[in-house]
Amino acid sequence: MCILFIYNGSNDPDSDYAAVVISNRDEFYDRPSSAMAPWTEDYTVVGGRDLQSGCDNGTWLGFSPKRKKLGVLLNLPGKPKDNAKSRGMIVADYVRNDKPATLYVEDMKNDAKECNDFIFVSLELINSTPTIQAYNNVTDEIIAYTDTCVGFGNSLPQNPLKKVEAGKQMLQHICTKYKKVTMKKAFIEELFHLLKSEER
């Protein structure tokens, strides 16, 4: 299962973190990909790359420190569409341009209809305050989230899986306990423990 959790630190004035993002990509081990690193064609973007033929060197998670924006794509189960367009460039194009998520989604909606089902999650740090939004091409709607902990998996956001709900609670506990940078080592260890959870 692909999972994504985001902690919105702006809701806790005592936290040293504006945002915390953790994610697992559930994919076949033999699917060719590159590790998270600066992109050769745009050094202002950091992310892994999908090297499988036909995926256009796209990505499932990309971050632009320069533009202070992050994009993540999660697949949704469903019947594959005939001649479906690759979803790999959705995140890549988003983190390489200056459009806010709302405008970007409006511009790519027509192409999104021709892709297999997905959720696109965006995080933008405006004045150090995270703006978290998610769009899916099943219901064709974009939703903004202000909760302290937000989670996504391979289901529509309005129908979260148990693993996602449990993960949000775990993330809330971890981020409340380790809110100071001086506790970073233990914090990271606990976040990895969360990602390894066998909750289903």
Per residue in 148-159, pLDDT tens?
999 999 999 999
Q: How confident is the model at residue 25 (pLDDT cuts 50, 70, 90)?
A: confident
Residue 194 pLDDT = 94
Whether residue 190 lies inside any domain: the answer is yes
DSSP letters of 121-136? EEEEEETTEEEEEEEE
Q: Tokens 């060197």 appear where?
A: 57
Q: Which has the closest alpha carbon to 32: 51, 8, 15? A: 51
Instruction: Give pTM, 2 decimals.
Output: 0.92
49 vs 153, more confident: 153
Work out the average pLDDT over 111-140: 94
Other Cβ atoms closer than 10 A to 155: 17
190: left (phi over 0), alpha (psi -120 to 50) or beta: alpha
Give pLDDT, residue 29. 53
pLDDT at 45 > cutoff 60: yes
181 inside domain: yes
Do the Cβ atoms of 15 and 156 come closer than 8 Å? no
pLDDT of residue 53: 61
Residue 71 has pLDDT above 60, yes or no: yes
Q: Which phi and psi angles does 96 have, rounded to 5°?
A: -95, 0
> Can you tell me the mean pLDDT for 172-176?
97
Average the pLDDT over 12-40 and give the result. Answer: 82
H helix or E strand, kind and range, residue 193: helix 184-195
What pLDDT does residue 39 have? 87
**Domain extent at residue 89:** 3-195
What value does the mean pLDDT take over residues 87-110? Answer: 94
More confident residue, 31 or 69: 69
The pLDDT of residue 191 is 97
Output phi, psi for 6, to 5 deg.
-130, 130
Please provide residue 132's backbone torsions phi and psi, each rounded to the nearest 5 degrees: -110, 125
DSSP H stretches of helix in the chain = 88-95, 101-112, 162-177, 184-195
Share of the chain above pLDDT 70, in %: 92
> Model confidence at 41, in pLDDT bands (50, 70, 90)?
confident
* Distance of alpha carbon 57 from alpha carbon 48, whole angstroms: 9
Give domain status of residue 53, yes or no: yes
In a domain, residue 200? The reply is no
| Structural domain count of the chain | 1
Q: Read off the CATH number of the domain in which 11 is found.
A: 3.60.20
